Amino acid sequence: MNIIVSGGGTGGHIYPAITIIRTIQQKVPDARFLYVGTKRGLEADIIPKEGLPFTTVDIQGFERHLTADNILRAGRAMVGVAKATRIVHKFKPDVVIGTGGYVCGPILLAASLMHIPTLIQEQNVVPGITNKILSKFVTKIAAGTEEAMKHFPADKVVFTGNPIRSEVLSAQREQGAASFGLDPKKLTVLVSGGSRGARAINLAMIGVIKNAAAHPEVQFLHVTGKRGYEPVLKGLEEAGVDLTACPHILVKPYLYNMPQAMAMADLAIFRAGATGLAELTARGIPAILIPYPYAAENHQEHNARALEEAGAARMILDRELTPERLSSVLTELLSEPDKLQAMAKASRAMGRPQAASDIADLVLDIAKK
């Protein structure tokens, strides 16, 4: 069986794609895959590292107004669809899967027009524009949340939940701690602004880390995003923090082994990207969420609110984020283990660890037909 998979731009679209591939491989060991992305997206870094065949089409997102640049982009998009058609002709897929990001557009459109079965997976409560357009052409839509279903044709959409990497579930605390040189017995806070990092969280964390430097009983693993790494190191230095004297505080640009970090996290400080939240809830990790305020239709705040209402997370709006506010919520939660435990329980109740398997079954089902 030949399967084309596409999804990209950010990790929130790429990791669901990898998870779907790995799950199908368990069910159909001889399935052949081809991943279609762009040269500029994070997928060009992550997918070859996963050992998956990777090819690219050239496409960019559109601006919301008519501009000369947009006309150029439309031209590129047409070239993108032509190249996608050639890729489909050559690879002869039995089914094509898209997990979001504009890179999915050309290949899913080409495959649909060639009457090849297609499935898209939507992670967010409010769908992205590419998936909204593609939903008119594709065979099936796997929705990550029940709220998203109303945005899609009722006869095509199925609620599955968001797929999470199996390592997120299988990773163990002791191993996680060992891989970072941290102490498995200490309370551990994992900080991440999503796959590209978050400047606002990084800035607030400089103040939090300054206080935490004198409290080795709580460990911090702060993932800054590649672009935020040097500025955070500089900010800490200016704040008088000597990281070499603080083995309980780790600052990293990006984690290729995020599941190991999640395995030892007692509390997370996160943006509210849908894939990250699916992983946190599958493990039952309580969180302080700071939604990215400029995500399309403010979908991260919707994502975060769902967890907050269920008692699985506390939310701080980006415009209200200061080191003091973050420190105060953090101190409150870390000093009240019962509260943290209740949040962990509520978080676990929201997780859908079987989502990947359900999506893989859906893919195999439409491929057969």
Ligand X SMILES: CC(=O)N[C@H]1[C@@H](OP(=O)(O)OP(=O)(O)OC[C@H]2O[C@@H](n3ccc(=O)[nH]c3=O)[C@H](O)[C@@H]2O)O[C@H](CO)[C@@H](O)[C@@H]1O
Closest CB to ligand X among residues 88, 268: 268
- Cα–Cα distance for residue pair 316/290, rounded to 1 Å: 5
19 is in an annotated binding site: no
Start-end of H helices in the chain: 11-27, 43-49, 68-91, 104-113, 129-134, 166-170, 173-180, 199-212, 229-238, 258-263, 274-283, 299-309, 323-334, 337-350, 355-368
Residue 337 burial (C-beta neighbours within 10 Å; 0-12, 13-18, 19+): exposed
Q: Is 300 a known ligand-binding residue?
A: yes
Residue 189 backbone dihedrals phi, psi, to 5 degrees: -110, 125
Q: Which is nearer to ligand X, 40 or 215 (CB)?
A: 40
- Cβ–Cβ contacts within 10 Å for residue 87, how many? 21
CB of 70 to ligand X, least distance (A): 20
Query: Within 10 A of 369 (CB to CB), how many other CB atoms are there?
Result: 7
Between residues 87 and 295, which has the closer beta carbon with respect to ligand X?
A: 295
CA distance 162 to 323: 32
196 known member of a binding site: no
Phi, psi dihedral angles at 76 (to 5 degrees)? -60, -40
By beta-carbon proximity to ligand X, the closer residue of 266 and 279 is 279
Identity of the residue, 98 or 117, whose beta carbon is nearer to ligand X in the bound complex = 98
Contact status, residue 151 vs residue 126, Cβ threshold 8 Å: yes
Tell me if 181 is assigned to a ligand binding site. Answer: no
Q: In this complex, which beta carbon is closest to ligand X, that of residue 93 or of residue 273?
A: 273
**Amino acid at residue number 106:** P
Closest contact distance (angstroms) between CB of 255 and ligand X is 4
Question: Closest separation between CB of residue 201 and ligand X, Å?
Answer: 11
Q: Any known ligand binding at 124?
A: yes
**Nearer Cβ to ligand X, position 118 or 192?**
192
Shortest reach from residue 158's CB to ligand X, in Å: 18
- CB neighbours of residue 73 within 10 Å: 17
Q: Report in angstroms how near the CB of residue 335 gets to ligand X at its nearest.
A: 27
Question: How far is Cα of residue 64 from the mean position of the Cα atoms in its chain?
Answer: 24
> CB-wise, 28 or 255, nearer to ligand X?
255
Residue 68 Cβ vs ligand X, minimum distance, rounded to whole Å: 26
Q: Is 40 annotated as a binding residue?
A: no
Report, in Å, the least distance between residue 163 CB and ligand X: 10
The residues of the shown chain that bind ligand X, judged by CB under 6 A, are: 10-13, 15, 100, 123-124, 192, 194-196, 223, 254-255, 258, 271, 273-276, 279, 292, 295, 299-300
DSSP-based three-state secondary structure for 343? helix
Q: Which two tokens stand for residue 166?
A: 């199996």
Inter-residue contact 287 to 310 (CB < 8 Å): no
Helix 323-334 vs helix 337-350: angle between axes, to the nearest 10 degrees? 100
Least CB distance from residue 164 to ligand X, whole Å? Answer: 8
| Residues tagged in the binding site annotation for UDP-N-acetyl-alpha-D-glucosamine | 10-12, 124, 165, 195, 300
| Residues tagged in the binding site annotation | 10-12, 124, 165, 195, 300
